[in-house]
Chain A
Amino acid sequence: MALDVEDLSVSRGGAVVLAGVGFTLAAGSALLLRGPNGIGKTTLLRSIAGLQPVAAGRVRAVDLTYAGHADGIKSTLTVAENLAFWAAVHGGGEIDPALAAYELTRLRDRPAAQLSAGQKRRLGLARLLVTGRKLWLMDEPTVSLDAASVDLFAGVLRAHLAAGGAALVASHIDIGLEAAVLDLARFRAVEVARSGFDEAFA
């Protein structure tokens, strides 16, 4: 079991946005989170990652890493330096295979400031590979990627799953992955949020 979420409620700005979320994710599988803007996909991912406290429920996870909207890239460092830093922080993984997987080898000595948005995103995704973590939590990983890069990403993700990894992905577009889809609309906590809102201004 890579991730086990039980009866989880998550809140944003003090209001519960999702309640009763429950699912399990086995090693070697991926789960796609779907739902309209503002439903709480990012909040759910950040809560599972431990970046914010959960309102209720329980999360059990293997070692995980999180990739949010921002890639954590320093523009004055080169591509290789950026990646080597994250590798060192996570215990020193090899950066060359990760660069090759996202076709960044040619750019390795280029300062990150000169990268395009798509290249930056690819560098951000390459970071997941050097962490050596089993479970990847990804928030809109395909933003600013072109079709070829999305294929690249899907290939890396498939290889990660085949090697016993797992992934929880919030994405609007179809990344061509055979994975279960979890529609968050049914966990929407409208009533709870409303009553909380009314009390605060009563």
Chain B
Amino acid sequence: MTALLIRDLRLALRAGGGFGLGLAFFLLVAVLVPLGVGPEAAVLARIAPGILWLGALLACLLSLDRLFALDFEDGSLDLLATAPIPLEAVVAAKVVAHWLVTGLPLVAISPLLALLLQLPLAGYPWLLATLLIGTPALSAIGGFGAALVVGVRRGGLLLSLLVLPMYVPVLIFGAEAVRRGGIGAEAGAPLALLAAITMASLALLPFASAAALRINLR
């Protein structure tokens, strides 16, 4: 399992692995929004939590279609399915690798982008906390979607249509916690709900994803 994690990280960092793609996308969204809605600090501060979370969501989505598709195309998935590690562990390792390559860099760069979007200072810790807690759920849910469409050629669009609705609760609670945190209101409840979503999806979805992969390997 560790070997798979290391291989996936190595593949992501090599040429053409797609590392930084989501990060660049996230950066662009945060730069384009002030250009689109104008530089008024009050307006930007109001929409910043939503934009930042939406950007993180879409950046995460960008790299999902390669999560299992590449291994499916070159036969690795067949070989992993016959290897002495459970397919659930394969899914878990690949989801963790996806989060380390996509989610974690988003968390790290988010304070910089929050600055561009005039997020109130009180919102910064909440932004970091929600992204840190919420992005693993994005990878886990996205992994499930990627497992469902793995056999479909050019399944990227289908994947977005499948996954985005499942991202709705994460978006709502994540952005709400940041918004409340920013105006100094109580934000513990949405944060707790976000943590619950993450833990539930990390605990349950590897099993669902593995089942979907088994069907698609037939």
Binding site for B on A (CB under 8 A): 46, 49-53, 63-74, 76-77, 81, 85-86, 88-91, 127, 131
Q: A71-B74, A74-B7 are in contact. Are A66 and B15 (CB under 8 A)?
A: no
Q: A74-B74, A76-B16, A88-B3 are in contact. Are A64 and B82 (CB under 8 A)?
A: yes
Cβ-closest chain A residue relative to B14: A76
CB distance from A53 to the nearest CB of B (A): 7
> When chains A and B are docked, how far (Å) is the Cα of A63 from the Cα of B14?
34
> When chains A and B are docked, how far (Å) is the Cα of A64 from the Cα of B16?
33
Docked-complex contact B4 and A49, CB < 8 angstroms: no
Interfacial chain B residues near A71, Cβ < 8 Å:
74-75
Docked-complex contact A72 and B3, CB < 8 angstroms: no
Q: A66-B78, A71-B74, A72-B76 are in contact. Are A89 and B17 (CB under 8 A)?
A: no
Docked-complex contact A51 and B75, CB < 8 angstroms: no
> When chains A and B are docked, how far (Å) is the Cα of A116 from the Cα of B71?
20
Judge if B80 is at the interface, Cβ distance under 8 Å: yes
Q: A52-B217, A74-B11, A77-B11 are in contact. Are A69 and B75 (CB under 8 A)?
A: yes
Docked-complex contact B15 and A90, CB < 8 angstroms: no
Give the dominant DSSP class at B's interface: helix
Within 8 Å by CB of A76, from B11, B75, B217, lies B11
Interfacial chain A residues near B79, Cβ < 8 Å:
65-68, 72, 86, 127
Interfacial chain A residues near B15, Cβ < 8 Å:
76
Judge if B153 is at the interface, Cβ distance under 8 Å: no
Number of residues in B with C-beta < 8 Å to the partner? 25
Contact pattern, B 1-41, Cβ under 8 Å of A = 1, otherwise 0:
01110010011001111000000000000000000000000
CB distance from B42 to the nearest CB of A (A): 48
Within 8 Å by CB of B75, from A53, A63, A70, lies A70
Interfacial chain A residues near B81, Cβ < 8 Å:
50-51
Offer 10 A-B interface pairs, CB within 8 angstroms, sorted by A.
A49-B82, A53-B218, A65-B83, A70-B75, A72-B71, A72-B79, A77-B10, A89-B4, A89-B84, A91-B84
Interfacial chain B residues near A85, Cβ < 8 Å:
3-4, 7
CB distance from B184 to the nearest CB of A (A): 48
Interfacial chain B residues near A66, Cβ < 8 Å:
78-79, 82
Interface centre among A67, A69, A70, A127 (most CB of B within 10 A): A70
Interfacial chain B residues near A86, Cβ < 8 Å:
79, 83
Q: A51-B82, A89-B85 are in contact. Are A77 and B7 (CB under 8 A)?
A: yes
Docked-complex contact B84 and A90, CB < 8 angstroms: yes
> When chains A and B are docked, how far (Å) is the Cα of A3 from the Cα of B80?
21
CB distance from A144 to the nearest CB of B (A): 14
Cβ-closest chain B residue relative to A69: B75
Interface centre among A72, A91, A131 (most CB of B within 10 A): A72
Within 8 Å by CB of B83, from A69, A74, A90, lies A90
Within 8 Å by CB of B82, from A65, A69, A74, A76, lies A65
CB distance from A41 to the nearest CB of B (A): 15
CB distance from B48 to the nearest CB of A (A): 38
Cβ-closest chain A residue relative to B12: A76
> When chains A and B are docked, how far (Å) is the Cα of A88 from the Cα of B3?
6
Q: Beyond A76-B16, A86-B83, A89-B3: 11 further Cβ-contacts under 8 Å?
A: A51-B81, A51-B82, A53-B218, A64-B82, A65-B82, A68-B78, A72-B75, A74-B11, A77-B10, A81-B10, A85-B4
> When chains A and B are docked, how far (Å) is the Cα of A91 from the Cα of B16?
29
Docked-complex contact B76 and A74, CB < 8 angstroms: yes
- Residues in B56-106 with C-beta less than 8 Å from chain A: 71, 73-76, 78-85
> When chains A and B are docked, how far (Å) is the Cα of A73 from the Cα of B217?
18
Contact pattern, B 179-218, Cβ under 8 Å of A = 1, otherwise 0:
0000000000000000000000000000000000000011
